[in-house]
Structure 1
Amino acid sequence: MDLSMPDAAEKLINNWVTGVLQTNLKPMKKVARMLHSHRRAIEYLFTPALTGRPDLSP
């Protein structure tokens, strides 16, 4: 199965967050929760520019 970049980013974030939340690493859990709360914005960065997303490159 070939995932699009936003789908791949979503899967990566979800898998990482799930794994971290099952540990006892409190600082990493804080990062995981932050990434989870901002996941839509992160996925947006992986959306190809052809979909009408403005180019955010420097």
Structure 2
Amino acid sequence: MFTVTDARAQFMLTDAAASKLKELIDAEAQEGLALRVAVRPGGCSGFSYEMFFDADI
């Protein structure tokens, strides 16, 4: 597994996407959640992408 430890932004969100993400995290009612983005082999282009909330960061 590859883990990014650099604190600089690795991707950017629009203001609307950031607002929606905050709304979804708040709805989970669990402290310490972060958005995890995973890239896995497979799919039509050779990769599939997953996004989910994770407290284990």
Coarse TM-score class (shorter-chain normalised): 0.3 to 0.5
- RCO comparison, higher one (Cα < 8 Å, 6+): 1
More helix by share: 1
TM-score of the two chains, using structure 1 as the length reference: 0.32
TM-score of the two chains, using structure 2 as the length reference: 0.32
More strand by share: 2
